Amino acid sequence: MRLLLRRAARGLGQQNAWVMVALVLDVVIAVTGILIGPRFNLTGALAIGPLLACARCDGRLTGLTAGVAAGLAIVVGAVTGTIGTSGQQYRFAMVLVVGALAVLAAVIRTRRENSLITITERVQQAILRPLPAELGGVAFASHYQSATRTALVGGDLYDIAMTQFGPRLIIGDVKGKGLDAVGRCAAVLAIFRELAFGEPGLAGLAEKMNARLSRDMEVEDFVTVILAEFAPGEVRIVNCGHHPPVKLALAGGGLQVMTPEEFAPPLGLNPHPARQDIDLKPGDRLLFYTDGLVETRDRAGRFFGLDDRVTAALALPDLGAAVKGVVRLLLEHAGDDLTDDVLLVLGEPTGIDSRNLRH
């Protein structure tokens, strides 16, 4: 909710700035029209203000701009002594009509944008389903952070499945944005859900997913992914071109980047990844993320670092609070102006395998 309020405030601030530009422009036109006199009548040019406002502002602010434009038209006519002439009345009527049309256009555009946001929210809910709080003896918390208000779905993806091999997690990033990226995200997740239950090895799972996805991919398309399989005391992963997860050990010592020994390219580029086994005991935590986390820059051009502040945030007792703490640090670093979507998944073994419980 706090994030939505920040976005709403930022959007309102952008509208206010845009409407100020439109108002200042109309004032300049009006003053110029008064100075040069009736020979070069600029009253009709006051319609530019409402037209400019309707491109970015809602109906209320566009209506305010249209009202100011009409008032300035009257002032120009009165000062130049042309208020009663037929030419000035025609120009005044033109400003009124254009202003009304601008308000109508702003209302229609705002409704369409709101409908688009609703649609993308539903797509996001279908693709990025909430992770269970606990599955197979592992507790999870996640957070998806959109870069823009009108692009709630990008190329980030994740899912988890409870298989006979244990909980299996996928997190990834599809090349590109928009509807094409959404379609590829859905395809990746559908193939993962189909193959995760039957393929015993993670490397084989990645290769089979690559074979299936490559059929419909263009030459330059790819998907970076990590496939993870949680087992008692460890997590097994294969990394196909994705940023490696970071581990926070219960014993302390800061964050450890789980870089694979050998690089494997993303899906779509025929990877042959090797499995990596990571010790993960109860109390240890493993953070998976997409590139928006570590590639976000501040105003000075510095990347977001996985430093002691992130370590402290990830060590918070509650998993959900830990993830939100990292997001808060990221937004502070970026000045609430992200340029890429961010997906975080934090996992922690609980020491209790829910599959072995008897009711």
pLDDT at 142 over 90: yes
Residue type for position 158: Y
Q: Which segment, 58-72, 79-93, 137-151, is predicted with the most confidence on average?
A: 58-72
CA dist list (Å): 281 to 253, 278, 355 = 15, 10, 18
Whole-number pLDDT of residue 111: 85
Domain boundaries, the chain: 2-123, 131-353
pTM above 0.75, yes or no: no
In this prediction, residue 61 has a pLDDT band, given cuts at 50, 70 and 90, of: very high
Q: Positive or negative CA dihedral for 317, 322, 324, 326?
A: positive
Burial 6-18 (b: 16+ CB within 10 A, else e): eeeeeeeeebeeb
Whole-number pLDDT of residue 80: 87
Whole-number pLDDT of residue 352: 63
CA distance 187 to 357: 34
275: buried, middle or exposed (CB in 10 Å: 19+, 13-18, 0-12)?
A: middle
Ranking 48-52, 246-250, 253-257 by mean pLDDT, the lowest is 253-257
Tokens 């033109």, residue located: 94
Q: Which CATH class is domain 131-353?
A: alpha beta
Residue 130: closest CA among 320, 356, 357, 350: 320
pLDDT at 348 over 70: yes
CA distance 276 to 309: 27
CA distance 85 to 109: 36
> Which residues share a beta bridge with 175?
none
pLDDT at 359 over 80: no
Which tokens sit at 237? 């992963």
Whole-number pLDDT of residue 354: 47
Cite the beta strand spans of 123-233 per DSSP E.
Answer: 134-135, 138-145, 156-163, 166-174, 223-231
pLDDT at 178 over 80: no
Work out the average pLDDT over 96-125: 82
Determine the 3-state secondary structure of 126 from DSSP: helix
Sheet of 246-248: strand order equals 134-135, 138-145, 342-349, 285-289, 246-248, 255-257
Average pLDDT, rounded, for the chain: 86
Residue 287 contacts by C-beta under 8 Å, 6 or more apart in sequence? 245, 246, 247, 248, 255, 314, 326, 344, 345, 346
pLDDT at 356 over 60: no
Whole-number pLDDT of residue 8: 40
Whole-number pLDDT of residue 17: 85
CA distance 160 to 349: 15
Between 276 and 9, residue with greater pLDDT:
276
